[in-house]
Amino acid sequence: MVIKLAIRKRVVSQKLWLSDATNSPFTKGEGFNPSYIVCGDKKISRAHILATVVGKFTSEDGNYAAITMDDGTETIRSKAFGPDVAKLKKVHIGNIVRFIGKIKEYNDERYLSPEAVRVVDDPNWLIVHKLELGAPSTGIPAPGDLKPEVPEPVAEETIKNEDISIQKNILEIIKTTDSGQGADMDEITSKSGLPADEVKNIIIGLLKSGDLYEPRKGKIKVLE
């Protein structure tokens, strides 16, 4: 008897402007189906971006990091949790990066989850990128110069506050879900609205910090 295994093909990343990534209609994926945006006649779930890094934040425990990218049409954040933080480690404010990642949305914020991030040394690639893309599909004029001015580094506190807010939300979900034996991981993930891997990494960070403990496998409790 021959057993045929179904092989899922990886969705090809698409080059696009950040204005298209942030303003195009978004559809949240169900199950194993990825989330995607509708840009023109394309459904795009993996974005290929060339942009300048204008902000960066890494949490003290090293389990969360975010960079803000600007390509002259719009800005967007990439958020990394757990092992993915390493993908943003060598990226600094002012760097031009070639970025590939999944398009996601949480609390009305469109953001990117990093898959591959590489610093680009030759700024001429920005010109090539512009010529390849043409004008954004969302009607925003293409920039004449894709080198945005780097703003004052005031965004770090905002990112830090949001990171704390997400952790507080997870803690509150665990408290309200716990019927005495601890909250179930699947239920925490479902109520949070976040991807399972992000919830897992947030909980790992809270376990390390002593805010949570695991009375038994798969059950999580808040340390009162």
Give the model's confidence band at 191: pLDDT under 50 very low, under 70 low, under 90 confident, else very high: confident
Q: What confidence tens digit (pLDDT) does each residue in 119-144 have?
A: 998 888 887 888 888 777 766 665 55
CA distance 143 to 57: 26
Do domains 14-151 and 161-222 share one topology? The answer is: no
**The domain 14-151 is classified under which CATH number: 2.40.160.20, 2.102.10.10, 1.10.3720.10, 2.40.50.140?**
2.40.50.140
- Nearest one of 40, 94, 64, 71 to 160, comparing CA atoms: 64
Instruction: Identify whether the C-beta of residue 45 lies closer than 8 Å to the C-beta of residue 10.
Output: no
Looking at residue 158, what is its pLDDT? 52
Question: Residue 121: what residue type?
Answer: D
Query: How far apart are the two ends of the chain, measured CA to CA in Å?
Result: 56
Tell me what percent of the residues of the chain surpass a pLDDT of 90: 29
159 phi, psi to nearest 5 deg:
-65, -40
- Nearest one of 119, 111, 212, 121 to 167, comparing CA atoms: 212
Q: Per-domain residue ranges for the chain?
A: 14-151, 161-222
Instruction: Identify whether the C-beta of residue 204 lies closer than 8 Å to the C-beta of residue 196.
Output: no
Token pair of 1, please?
Answer: 């008897």
